[in-house]
Structure 1
Amino acid sequence: MALADQVRLMVITDPVLLKGRDPVAVCRAAVRGGATMIQVRWKDGAPAAVLELTRALVAALPVPILVNDRADIALAAGAAGVHLGWEDLPVDALRSHVPAGFLLGLSVGTPEEASRAAGLPADYWSIGPCFATANKPDAGWALGPAGFGALAHLAPDGVPVIGIGGITTANASLIKGAGAAGVAVIGAVLTARDPESATRELNRALQ
């Protein structure tokens, strides 16, 4: 499957938002609903706990699993890749130390970051926040579809871009129409009573 198809609907799991629900069960439901990739994001999780969760997801799900920030955990768990921010390990330094095919995603939120990212060997960009979001209050001003599109056009050919931040069934199509290969969601799925149905509705919105 092409990477642009793999990143079409990324669900980011955060045990804090799950409030005691089993993250593997929630992610399994999301995959049934059409999620094409899962990212493990557990900022305050002990490394051993993040590793255990990542291994469980890799074993349980038929879609690529990424880990936020922690390349060491992703490699140890047999995950498909890692998603990095600008304060994490540099993409170019990490590329030569990971296996061929190991995915490196990069967060982009400003024209300056986009210019820097264009010269780095990232496999995909996650651009945001597209809309206001409570899940990452330090993410900066919402870009909106126009702002997203302006940054998306700076990505090198062959590097798919996805939108993140405040994505819902009501606005996902706006970001897709602005040039996104897909979207990444957190609250729209994790806080839903029925994660499978919520993911399926997002999937429809992207068609």
Structure 2
Amino acid sequence: MKKSQIDLRLYLVTEESIALESLTNIISESVSGGVSVVQLREKNQSSLSFYKKAAALKQVLNELSTPLIINDRVDIALAVGADGIHIGQDDLPLSVIKQMVPDEMIIGVSVSNLEEALEAERNGADYLGVGSIFPTKTKQDATPMAIRDLEEICRSVSIPAVAIGGINADNIALLTEKGLAGAAVVSAIMEAKNPKMASSSLLDIIKDFT
């Protein structure tokens, strides 16, 4: 899949505590409801566990024609042939990662202010993960960003920006018409009783983003 073809509108970030069988079921349902890209986020697993989960998800997502993004771990992304890698401010520098991965691999960078966003664009990021937008239990030490700062980032960069952090059905409408390419969600889908319905409901609002 070419970088320009990746649809970032509804970006699902996985929750580490969920077992693989349940995870693949949730992902399959959520993709059928409109999830357009999946990021596998594992912070506390061994390299082997991370690899096995990534390889299994890559197979599932290939069948669903949906890209897989790996969080942080370039080695895992390369090992399973993932479509992309997403890095934070404390990971390997973007310039180094670009030398390690194939040109067709999409690279996203987490940013929390305009300076970081502009630097990521300058260094060749393909998209930005901007946040945290709202308080989130996934990353409890994150300071929520003012919506006006989110808008400024979207106005100031020419690459796609995806909002992340505490986004759910109750607050996602606050992000419409801000210039975003999409929204990244975790618990709003991962913990939903019906992941397909939850995804579809979120996507209906995301269609009004731009």
Normalising by structure 1, what TM-score?
A: 0.91
What does 1:46-195 correspond to in 2, within 5 Å?
A: 46-61=46-61, 62-140=65-143, 142-155=144-157, 157=158, 159-195=159-195
Q: Who is 1:11 aligned against?
A: 12
Q: CA deviation at 1:182?
A: 0.3
Given that residues 67 and 82 in structure 2 are in contact (C-alpha distance below 8 angstroms), is that contact kept between their aligned partners in structure 1?
Answer: yes
Given that residues 111 and 151 in structure 1 are in contact (C-alpha distance below 8 angstroms), is that contact kept between their aligned partners in structure 2?
Answer: yes
| Cα distance in 2, alignment partners of residues 176 and 187 from structure 1 | 20
Q: Who is 2:32 aligned against?
A: 32
Q: CA deviation at 1:83?
A: 0.3
Residues 168-177 or 91-100, more deviating: 168-177
3-state DSSP of counterpart to 1:22: helix
| Cα distance in 1, alignment partners of residues 33 and 133 from structure 2 | 23
| Cα distance in 2, alignment partners of residues 176 and 78 from structure 1 | 34
Deviations 1:29-84 (A, max 9, x none): 11011000000001001111111111111111220001100011011011101100
Q: CA deviation at 1:147?
A: 2.1
Q: CA deviation at 1:146?
A: 1.8
Letter in 2 for 1:170: D
Q: CA deviation at 1:7?
A: 0.8
Letter in 2 for 1:127: V
| Cα distance in 1, alignment partners of residues 6 and 31 from structure 2 | 14
Q: CA deviation at 1:19?
A: 6.7
Letter in 2 for 1:93: V
Given that residues 167 and 188 in structure 2 are in contact (C-alpha distance below 8 angstroms), is that contact kept between their aligned partners in structure 1?
Answer: yes
Deviations 1:96-140 (A, max 9, x none): 221121011000102331232232111000000111111101222
Matched length:
203
Given that residues 133 and 147 in structure 2 are in contact (C-alpha distance below 8 angstroms), is that contact kept between their aligned partners in structure 1?
Answer: yes
3-state DSSP of counterpart to 1:118: helix
Sort the Cα spacing of 1:14 and 1:48 in 2 relative to 1 into closer, same or farther, 3 A.
same
| Cα distance in 2, alignment partners of residues 103 and 78 from structure 1 | 12
| Cα distance in 1, alignment partners of residues 176 and 102 from structure 2 | 31
CA RMSD of aligned residues (A): 1.8
3-state DSSP of counterpart to 1:153: helix
Q: CA deviation at 1:21?
A: 6.1
Deviations 1:14-33 (A, max 9, x none): 231x3786211111111011
Letter in 2 for 1:98: V
Given that residues 127 and 152 in structure 1 are in contact (C-alpha distance below 8 angstroms), is that contact kept between their aligned partners in structure 2?
Answer: no
Residues 19-28 or 34-43, more deviating: 19-28
The share of aligned pairs that are identical, in percent, is: 32
